[in-house]
């Protein structure tokens, strides 16, 4: 996997996709890149360290690092452990970064595209989160 | 939508010829373009409305506007005319990037 961080210098909110399945995470990230474009930092992780389905805190931390933006990072998760491990990863971040990371309560694929679209326009972290979560309210 | 009287200085309409209508990718492009303008921009599939925020990806994609629909735009603000012109042009060129971009 390549890091997109090097070529992106925009101040836009970053997006992290966390799925139990690396295929789902990679596929969702592909959709964001193709539909939204290159204007946002984007990273994904998924799968257990030994292979198979799962999520783990270290991989999530690394993805947050790759997608880091001063404007913050919005995380999209699929099920159960993806959310709890993401929460754990956020707690392990340096204090000054912790407040600038949110986990969105939204479907992972659709939420990632919505959040990415909002982020690409230079919106704040809170706007990005609420756009992703608006899907759920409809 | 609020019911307060509001005047819109710029309006425009265009027929959607994109094969699948205003689906995922066209919706993202339309929203991204709308967000580059400072004006308030709304769209509707009928001149009577309902008018929806063109800067909301959830609203734009949620409209599920099919091919053949007439998309109406209205805008109010400092760059209203340019916004409507640009959005109509985007739909006219079938959501492809600008040739000179």
Closest CA to A78 of A35, A45, A41, A122: A45
> pLDDT band for position B98 (50/70/90)?
confident
Instruction: Give A102 to chain B, closest Cα distance, Å.
Output: 19
Q: What is the C-alpha to C-alpha distance for residues A29 and A18, in angstroms, rounded to an integer?
A: 10
State the pLDDT at residue A9. Answer: 46
- Residue from B23, B29, B40, B59 carrying the catalytic annotation: B23
Taking the model in full, what pTM does it have? 0.88
Per the annotation, the verdict on B72 as an active-site residue is no
Residues of B with CB under 8 A from a CB of A: 24-25, 28, 31-32, 35-36, 55-58, 61-62
Q: Provide the shortest C-alpha distance from residue A66 to chain B (in Å).
A: 24
- Give me the pLDDT at residue A4, please: 43
Which residues of chain A fall short of a pLDDT of 50?
1-9
According to DSSP, the β-strands at B40-44 and B70-76 are: antiparallel
The pLDDT-based confidence of B3 (bands split at 50, 70, 90) is: low
A 10 A CB-CB count for A132 gives 30
User: A35 to chain B: which residues are within 8 Å by CB?
Assistant: 24-25, 28
**Binary contact (A120, B32; C-beta < 8 A):** yes
Contacts of A90 (CB under 8 A, 6+ apart): A64, A75, A98, A101, A103
What percentage of residues in chain B have a pLDDT greater than 70? Answer: 92
* Residues on chain A bordering chain B, Cβ-to-Cβ distance under 8 angstroms: 34-37, 113-114, 117-118, 120-123, 131, 134-135, 138
Radius of gyration of chain A (CA): 13
Specify the pLDDT at position B5: 61
Question: How confident is the model at residue A45, as a pLDDT?
Answer: 98
**pLDDT computed for residue B77 by the predictor:** 96
Q: Convert the pLDDT of each residue in B73-84 to its tens digit.
A: 999 999 999 999
pLDDT tens-digit map of B15-38: 999 888 888 999 999 999 999 999
Token pair, residue A11, equals: 């101040």
């Amino acid at each position: 996997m390549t890091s997109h961080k090097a070529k992106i210098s925009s101040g836009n909110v970053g997006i992290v996709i966390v799925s139990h399945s690396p295929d789902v995470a990679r596929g969702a990230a592909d959709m964001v890149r193709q539909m939204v474009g290159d204007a946002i930092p984007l990273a994904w992780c998924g799968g257990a360290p030994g292979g198979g389905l799962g999520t783990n805190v270290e991989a999530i931390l690394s993805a947050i690092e790759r997608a880091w933006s001063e404007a913050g990072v919005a995380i999209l998760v699929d099920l159960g452990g993806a959310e709890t491990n993401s929460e754990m990863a956020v707690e392990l971040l340096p204090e000054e970064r912790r407040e600038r990371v949110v986990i969105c309560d939204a479907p992972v694929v659709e939420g990632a595209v919505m959040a990415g679209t909002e982020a690409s326009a230079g919106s704040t972290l809170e706007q990005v989160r609420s756009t992703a979560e608006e899907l759920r309210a409809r | 939508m609020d019911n307060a009287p509001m005047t819109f200085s710029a309006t425009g309409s265009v027929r959607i010829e994109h094969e699948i209508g205003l689906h995922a990718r066209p919706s993202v492009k339309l929203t991204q373009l709308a967000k580059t303008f400072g004006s308030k921009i709304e769209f509707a599939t009928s001149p009577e409305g309902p008018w929806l925020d063109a800067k909301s990806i959830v609203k734009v994609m949620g409209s599920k506007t099919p091919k053949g629909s007439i998309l109406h735009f209205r805008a109010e603000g400092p760059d209203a005319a340019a916004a409507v012109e640009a959005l109509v042009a985007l739909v006219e060129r079938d959501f492809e990037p600008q040739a000179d971009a």
